[in-house]
Amino acid sequence: MTVAYASGKVILFGEHAVVYGQPALAVPVTQVQAQATVETEPEGQDITIVAEDLEQSYTLEQAPPDDALRAIVVGTLEHIGVGTKHDLTITVSSTIPIARGLGSGAAISTAIVRALSRHLGHPLSPQAISNLVYETEKIHHGTPSGIDNTVIAFEKPVYFVRDQKTEIFPVKSPFLLTIADSGIASPTRIAVSHVRRAWERGREKYEELFDEIGTIAEMGRQAIERGEIETVGRLMNENHRLLQLMGVSSPELKGLVEAAREGGALGAKLSGAGRGGNIIALVTQETRSRVDMMLRLAGAKNVIITEVG
């Protein structure tokens, strides 16, 4: 039996603009994880996928062609060149909330690739894993930026430019992020499609927004590398304002962002596709408890804190 894990992720800066060639920053969130277990079974069973959280169990042959779990299993087996004629049970589970901007789909796929490739004696590099997971992300998101699979596969803070650059960057002074769940699903495919339609109707306006967000992402990386945490907070606030102008916030997200700031957060913004999902807030050891309280009073369904560093 082989077991592998993959963490969640949050985007610090650059969501949506990253789809249009601008840089983005993302970091892993180890407090939530996906798990995949691969076990060898008696001959004749074929490959069975057990999705515990969904209470589903099916073989590769029973799965529809667009099933994401089937796709990542087949893609991995083809990549390592061993074919699909195996007798295995692949069991997946996750503590990462679905459709909340925490990379649940990419994490499950990453855990499967890690467990399956190791079990069959062909462990893969983070880049190879990222490439495989990206193909499956197309099923989840339609036009994925590629940032989820990258940061989750590498398990490090990542500076990412689509089809151009993936750089792991240093964090001079570790910092704390509070992640608050609005309780509202945020399907990435829908939000990305909305922004694309708006961009097509008003390209000049949206290109300006994308450019500004890209500049913030670059400045955010510099601030993190220098340990200028208060600057990171101000940039988060500005990034959120631009996302509001883009139309991907919501009354619930607005309320959580305002509550975090009232609680003493250095900065706060929505994270991910928007319309729902999570907000992130930059906190200190001194303000973390009050921010947590304010977020829960404002309706957050769950609050977790992760250290970036």
Taking the chain (309 residues) in runs of 10, the rounded mean pLDDT of each run is 96 94 94 96 91 92 90 96 93 90 92 97 95 87 79 92 89 96 86 93 96 98 97 98 96 97 98 93 98 98 93
> Which tokens sit at 114?
């890690």
Greatest CA separation for the chain: 61
Nearest CA to 198 among 19, 24, 25? 19
Q: Given 3-state DSSP classes, what are the helix, strand and coil percentages for the chain, each rounded to the nearest 5?
A: 45, 25, 30
pLDDT of residue 127: 93
3-state secondary structure of 32: strand
> Which tokens sit at 157?
């803070």
Where does the chain hold its CATH 3.30.230.10 domain(s)?
2-168
Rounded to 10 deg, the angle between the 104-119 and 147-154 helix axes is 50
CB 14, CB 217: distance < 8 Å: yes
State how far the Cα of 181 lies from the Cα of 277, in Å rounded to an integer: 6
- Please name the residue that has the structure tokens 């300006």: 208
Q: Domain 175-308: which CATH class? A: alpha beta
CB 267, CB 256: distance < 8 Å: no
pLDDT of residue 302: 94
Which CATH entry fits the domain spanning 2-168: 3.90.1300.10, 3.40.50.1820, 3.30.365.10, 3.30.230.10?
3.30.230.10
Where does the chain hold its CATH 3.30.70.890 domain(s)?
175-308
The per-residue DSSP string of 146-163 comes to: SHHHHHHHHTS-EEEETT
* Strand pairing category for 158-161 and 267-271: unpaired
Detail the DSSP E strand segments found in the chain: 2-13, 24-40, 47-51, 56-59, 88-94, 158-161, 165-168, 175-181, 267-271, 278-283, 302-308
R_g (Cα) of the chain, nearest Å: 20
Q: What is the DSSP letter of 173?
A: S
State how far the Cα of 157 lies from the Cα of 178, in Å rounded to an integer: 16
